[in-house]
Every structure is written in structure tokens, then in C-alpha cells.
Amino acid sequence: MDVGKALQKTIDLYLKNFGMFFLAGLMVAIVSIVTIGILAGPLIGGFIILILKIERGEQAPINEIFTHFDKFIPTLLIGIICIIVPMIIGMIPIIGLIFGIIAGPVISIIYAIAIAQTVDKGVEPIEALKKGYQGFMQEPVINWLYGLIIGVMSSIGAIACGFGIVFTLPLGTIGMAIAYQELSLKTEDASTSGTSTEL
């Protein structure tokens, strides 16, 4: 993945569709907070699909984020594995901080790909997580760096001004949607090449 191009695409996509993505991100954040994260999975998945449709030039209404609750259980399981467990580890003094810095970008990319695979293609949770891992391992160092930069970009609003995070948070989801698009395509190409070689 070309980090520079992916980041530029993320920023350009947000600026061109600021109103829709800001509102969608705000709704996802509010509902996720109110439900203590229980509904975050299908909402984030829906947000990713909304982003991808717009990036492809397709018509996509904002209510796209609310149309994937049939994937509630699979996305909840992915969330428990990718978010709850690391959160518990992160509570351990010193070890948690080091773990968060090193593992945070890895987990965010694997989570995004897994959620998108489940919502976009109906892949089961364990298989979706495997695909997320395979996507990340295509170029682990570059992908880790990308995940770190996207994480900083999405949090910069909170650093500058606490409430400002509502403006920068959507950048994280857009960045991960681009990562899903790029890394899943590479993984599929690699799988196709492997199958062709075997034949």
C-alpha cells in the first residue's frame, strides 16, 4: 500500500463529502456511546460501506449506516476479540501503554478489514479476522505506520480541542475503509495468483 496516496485519498474524500461523513460519523459515535459500544460493529461496518460506495461514485444515502444490523452478532464477536481483550490488557500499568502503542495500529487495521469483510461480503468472524491478518501481513511495517498515522489524524481534534474530535474522528473510519479496499484487493490478487500457480 502506498501510504502517501492512501492518506491523500482519505483527506480528499473527507473534504469532498464533509457534510455527509461528518454527520454519519457523529451518528455512529452517539449511538455507539449510548449503547456502550454494543451496536458499534454494524454501524462502523455500514459507515465503511457508505464510504466505499461514495469513493466508487455510487449513490449512497446516509441511512446506509443503519442497514447492516443483520450482521450484529458477527460484528459484536469481532469487536470483543479486537477491542475488549486489548482494552483489558491496556489497563495494565506500563505494559498496557507499550502494548497500545505497538499493537494499536495492527488491531485497528485487522478490525476494520474484518468488520468490512463481514458486512460487505458476509464472511464469518474467524475467517474475516484471518483475512484482516493476511491483509496486514502483506506489508506489516508499512501498514503499521499507516495505522499509526490514521490513528493520530483521527484523534488530533481531541488533542487540539476536546470537542474537536467529532470533526476528525471520521478520518479514522475513512482511512480504514481505504485500507480495506487496498489490502483486501492485494490479498485477493495474491490468492488468485497462488491458485493459478497450483493449476
pLDDT of residue 163: 64
Q: Flag whether 181 is in a domain.
A: yes
pLDDT of residue 62: 94
Q: Flag whether 86 is in a domain.
A: yes
pLDDT of residue 19: 94
Sequence-ordered list of residues with C-beta below 8 angstroms from that of 123, at least 6 positions apart, any chain = 117, 131
Q: Flag whether 199 is in a domain.
A: no
Give CB contacts under 8 A, 24+ apart, made by 65-71: 65/24, 65/27, 65/28, 68/42, 68/119, 69/39, 69/42, 70/42, 71/41, 71/42, 71/45, 71/118, 71/119, 71/122
Tell which residue, 66, 25, 34, has the closest CA to residue 157.
25
Domain count of the fold of the chain = 1
Condensed to tens digits (0 to 9), the pLDDT of residues 49-70 reads 999 999 999 989 999 999 999 9
pLDDT of residue 156: 82
Alpha helices, H only, 58-164:
72-79, 85-90, 95-121, 125-136, 140-160
Q: Flag whether 195 is in a domain.
A: no
Place of cell 499507516: 146
Q: Flag whether 22 is in a domain.
A: yes
Assigned C-alpha cell, 106: 495492527
| Positions of the chain with pLDDT lower than 50, given as ranges | 192-193, 195-197
Q: Flag whether 140 is in a domain.
A: yes
pLDDT of residue 76: 94
Q: Flag whether 130 is in a domain.
A: yes
pTM for this entry = 0.86
Q: How many CA atoms lie within 13 A of 91 on its CB side?
A: 5
Q: Which amino acid is at 157?
A: G
Domain span including residue 7:
3-190
